[in-house]
Copies of this chain bind each other. A is one copy, B any other.
Amino acid sequence: MGLAERKERDKLELKKTILEAAQKMLLAHGQDGLSIRKIADEIEYSPATIYLYFADKDAILHELMEMGFGVMNEYMKDAFAQKDPIKRIHSIGHAYIRFGLENKDWYELMFNSDKPMKHIEKCCEDWDQGMAMFASLTETCRQAIEMHKMENVEEQILALQLWCSVHGLVNLALTERLEIVQQNNSQVLIEKTLDAIIHTIFKK
């Protein structure tokens, strides 16, 4: 059955080509500049062909989202490797923010857009990479709580507290709300705020 297999490979091949064109467009023109017709144009197929490989646009955005987590993991690798849990939290925060600011379109897809989530609902899938990342953060928080002998602190709540802070910070920055409210150098402002967040939690 070598023939059937080659066929299968060819199908995957075109699917990959579509996704590559989609990624190129996302990075060049953002989610708004990403259209199925333009993808079709780019890969020199008709728009209808794309629907033989993806259920709809949401499905494409979902796959792009998964690719985005791949990019993010690169940013987070070193941070998660840190031994000391509190230093690790600091590094994770920094890496998270840096990823967000440097990859607006990936970030949008992974943490804001409802379109990949719609696909997840439709197909009864999971937001598994997001869940995995949060689980890792929660585990780091557990270690930090243990190490610092913090009382009455739930690891889940602490993890969420950290996540929503950096998530909010990144979003305010990406949507131009920060620089309008405060003319200061945004980069420095963000840095100082992240430091403040972590310091207030783990102050000695």
* A161 contacts B by Cβ under 8 Å: yes
CB distance from A24 to the nearest CB of B (A): 22
The answer to whether A164 and B169 have CB atoms under 8 Å apart is yes
Residue interface mask A28-65, B partner, CB < 8 A = 1: 00000000000000000000000000000000000000
Bound complex: CA of A163 vs CA of B113, how far in Å? 21
Bound complex: CA of A177 vs CA of B109, how far in Å? 12
Q: Nearest B residue to A131 by beta-carbon distance? A: B181
The answer to whether A114 and B180 have CB atoms under 8 Å apart is no
State whether A111 and B177 are in contact (beta carbons under 8 Å apart), knowing that A164-B172, A171-B167, A172-B164 are contacts in the complex.
yes
**A contacts with B, residue count (CB < 8 A):** 41
Q: Which A residues, 148 to 202, have Cβ-Cβ distances below 8 Å to chain B?
A: 153-154, 156-158, 160-161, 163-169, 171-172, 175-178, 180-182, 184, 189, 192-193, 196-197, 200-201
* A117 contacts B by Cβ under 8 Å: yes
The one of B117, B154, B166 that contacts A176, using a Cβ cutoff of 8 Å: B117
Residue interface mask A6-32, B partner, CB < 8 A = 1: 000000000000000000000000000
